[in-house]
Chains A and B, each alone.
Chain A
């Protein structure tokens, strides 16, 4: 589904990703862990196409497409979804309005008709209930005045409505208490399927207790330096990231 080869990227002239390789197959859940400044968030933003993140080398192939040649909105319509670490507040635009605009953009791209208003409302209401959100939530400005937990749940709500193929979760656990984390994790787990893949970028192992990854990768200084199964996350939790400084090959 996603193949990243020798990816190099820089932000404001500073090289951040320095030859990153990653292969993700349909249905897999990959966790990317690493210390602050290792390039985790840069990877998420490069995959989503954020302006200002300049790719200087390597390739990213998604479902047979050259992902890097697509505009951010085209990537989204092809099925790439980034759940933001810091979701943006958009006062004056209601949550439900954005959800509908986004879903229709994706549907038009797929050659499907725009969603029927009643069907849409039913779909959205079912999803918000499963995320433990109040219906009033739909009529508030996008992320406006939301608590940290509400913002993250809103990202998952958007994901559940858009049904992407590749979900990238950028530090989704940051700023969440344990109850909110469980709700978010339940939301993500409900979306796991054999044709949908996940990349979870996280600093802490805690999230992985609730969303079990198939693979764990350690990112340091712009490269993946170790890969393994879920047990690698526990090892990191026990040993911290300090050992990476002296790891061979760096």
Chain B
């Protein structure tokens, strides 16, 4: 087998264990299905051959994938207790729980008409053709070591399908928990919305502090004509957790994809959202990140306008305090035939301390001539005029800073539609800012 030796520079890293991973593949759910075996094997070989990207790779220049490497991570967890903090389940949602990469039974609510949910291991058997159609990622840039590693190692995840015309009111929550030290989990989800279908999916990622782990997940989304998906991601990993979550979307004509991210946790975490937009489709990506202490948070969006009359909007707010580091890279590609494209990208950032760092980079590749594309990126500090305004109302400086920083992020958060999720994120944002701002004034 090619590429099973670690590339230079990665001795002592996860790459050393390629042969172990190969053995492991034989034990994954779905092993024995020839097409799946082949896909996993090829992914592992490609992973070995590519190695982790370095900062020389433009897509990884601020946050090399090698930061995710580490030899100690184990795919086979010790026996997993089926208990978890049930408060993490959002009220009035249909919640699917994963702990250390395994599905944990939660309360079974009858599914509404038009909604089908399976474990992917069931979908491998029941819908092999549909699954195979979703194995490939829309962009060559989506194929990198981390997504390949998920493809090679993921045996669990959910398969969600909403049938044509069905409007699913109840949000579906995918709760992904890590608990065991040094554990590597890889989950893979497939979401398809048929014509005119509508649904809301919420991903919640969480884990304990002071526990190193690597949580990888990949969500593959297919929206047929005129389908509409609201997708949310709440990333609240533990302070030593490493997180990668890729969201890869295919949008058929007139479909609508709305994604909002709130990223707070982890030692290092990357969220990647790639979408391919066909004619007159709409894609709205919004998010906030708050990188405190030594947290490194990376958000990476890539929108390919492949058909005419599509609109896209990126709107992100980044905050970095302590020695935190934030990265936003947003790329918009307008293909030659994609006339009348409207694309707007905005990323506003706030630095709360001297050691904090934010790197924001817009990338526009426009190959059509009748388009409207705009981008704006700013990095700044709080407005002294606003601090004085609050002080003149009796609010002290620390509280004023906290309030203004909260407001800066809350402009995005308050648009979140599921009320319970919005409340959770606002609460976490408020709590984390209290710590961060108290910390910075003591420096």
Contacts and interface: CB of A to CB of B under 8 A. Distances in A.
Interface in A22-58: 48-51
Contact of B395 (A84, A87, A91, A101): A101
A1 to B, nearest CB: 18
B404 to A, nearest CB: 7
B393 A92 contact: no
Interface of B: 383-386, 388-397, 399, 403-404, 406-411, 414
A48 B392 contact: yes
Contacts of B397: 73
A109 B407 CA distance: 25
Nearest to B412: A92
Contact of B391 (A73, A87, A109, A141): A73
A105 interface: yes
Contacts of A106: 394
A105 B399 contact: yes
Nearest to B403: A93
A102 B393 contact: yes
A51 B391 CA distance: 11
Contacts, number: 79
A75 B395 CA distance: 11
Contact of B407 (A48, A71, A90, A105): A90
Interface of B is mostly: helix
Contact of A92 (B384, B388, B409): B409
Given A73-B397, A98-B393, A90 B410 contact: no
B393 A162 contact: yes
6 contacts: A51-B388, A88-B385, A90-B407, A98-B393, A98-B403, A105-B393
A91 B407 contact: yes
Nearest to B384: A51
Nearest to A107: B394
A222 interface: no
Given A51-B384, A72-B388, A90-B389, A102 B395 contact: yes
A72 B400 CA distance: 12
Contact of A105 (B385, B394, B406, B411): B394
A51 B392 CA distance: 11
A115 B74 CA distance: 53
Given A91-B411, A162-B394, 7 more contacts: A73-B396, A81-B392, A87-B389, A92-B407, A92-B408, A98-B390, A109-B394
B410 A93 contact: yes
Given A90-B407, A91-B407, A93-B407, A102 B389 contact: no
A233 interface: no
Given A84-B389, A88-B385, A88-B389, A76 B407 contact: no
Contacts of B393: 76, 98, 101-102, 105, 158, 162
Nearest to A143: B389
Nearest to A76: B394
B403 A76 contact: no
Contacts of A75: 392
Contacts of B389: 84, 87-88, 90
Contacts of A49: 391-392
A76 B384 CA distance: 17
Nearest to B408: A92
Contacts of A153: none
Contact of A93 (B384, B392, B396, B406): B406
